[in-house]
């Protein structure tokens, strides 16, 4: 047994989870390599937190003074930043910090696992940075953190997510001293 408490996720047996993923990956290697997602994910060992009490932090007393961080999984990256490995059937476990004041037209999208047609026309459909900026200008929120954060949310290895990706991402988010965060998965 290698159970350990993960802040916000309860107690998890990471070795058991790792073994389950390894077994799935070995069995699904061929359809994964062919990008045949339905057969590849037939036996994917989904995590289930329905019986785990969610963590809870009290909201800011006044949104008009709160600095909000936007975090989205639509695979945005800024011009000059590297793209994501969107074609990798085992996922990409990196994130990008985007200046919150940036022009969203200066971003690209690399994500092969959702229909990005709308997002390519208007990034706000999945990453509402301009809408949040408008609310900040109107005084409805205190502002945005210096950066918004993006990643490509095809990441089947949740052990890597839990042990490395999320802690690294959250370290970067916390350095921006948010009072609240909006999470936008696709």
Please report, as ranges, the residues that interact with another protein according to CB under 8 A. 6-9, 46-50, 52-60, 63, 68-69, 71, 114-119, 121-122, 124-128, 130-132, 134-135, 140-141, 166-167, 170, 173-174, 178-186
Angstrom distance (rounded) from CA 12 to CA 10: 6
Residue 7 or 26 having the CB closest to another protein: 7
Residue 72 or 89 having the CB closest to another protein: 72
Q: Shortest distance, CB of residue 49 to another protein, whole angstroms? A: 4
Measured from the Cβ of residue 24, the count of other Cβ atoms closer than 10 Å reads 19
Q: Shortest distance, CB of residue 83 to another protein, whole angstroms? A: 19
CB contact set of 50 (below 8 Å; sequence gap of 6+): none
Residue 1 or 48 having the CB closest to another protein: 48
Residue 11 or 57 having the CB closest to another protein: 57
Q: Shortest distance, CB of residue 33 to another protein, whole angstroms? A: 25
Q: What is the CA radius of gyration of the chain?
A: 18
Q: Shortest distance, CB of residue 103 to another protein, whole angstroms? A: 16
- The H or E element that residue 71 is part of is strand 67-72
Judged by DSSP in three states, 64 sits in: helix
Residue with token string 């058991």:
16
Asked whether the beta carbons of 69 and 182 are under 8 A apart, the reply is yes
Judged by DSSP in three states, 136 sits in: helix
Judged by DSSP in three states, 18 sits in: helix
DSSP-derived secondary structure letter, 74: B
Q: Shortest distance, CB of residue 30 to another protein, whole angstroms? A: 26
Closest CA to 145 of 92, 102, 186: 102
Q: Shortest distance, CB of residue 98 to another protein, whole angstroms? A: 16
Residue 90 or 180 having the CB closest to another protein: 180
Residue 102 or 181 having the CB closest to another protein: 181
């Amino acid at each position: 047994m290698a159970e350990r408490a993960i802040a916000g996720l309860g107690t998890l047996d990471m070795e058991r989870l790792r073994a389950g993923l390894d077994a799935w990956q070995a069995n699904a290697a061929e359809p994964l390599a062919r990008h045949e997602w339905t057969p590849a994910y037939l036996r994917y060992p989904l995590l289930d937190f329905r019986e785990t009490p969610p963590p809870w932090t009290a909201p800011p007393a006044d949104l008009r003074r709160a600095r909000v961080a936007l975090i989205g999984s639509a695979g945005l990256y800024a011009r000059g930043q590297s793209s994501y490995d969107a074609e990798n059937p085992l996922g990409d476990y990196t994130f990008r910090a985007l200046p919150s004041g940036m022009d969203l037209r200066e971003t690209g999208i690399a994500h092969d696992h959702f229909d990005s047609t709308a997002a390519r026309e208007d990034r706000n459909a999945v990453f509402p940075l301009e809408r949040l900026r408008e609310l900040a200008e109107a005084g409805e929120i205190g502002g945005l953190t210096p950066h918004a954060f993006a990643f490509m949310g095809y990441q089947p290895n949740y052990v890597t997510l839990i042990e490395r990706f999320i802690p690294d991402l959250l370290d970067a988010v916390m350095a921006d001293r948010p009072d609240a965060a909006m999470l936008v998965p696709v």
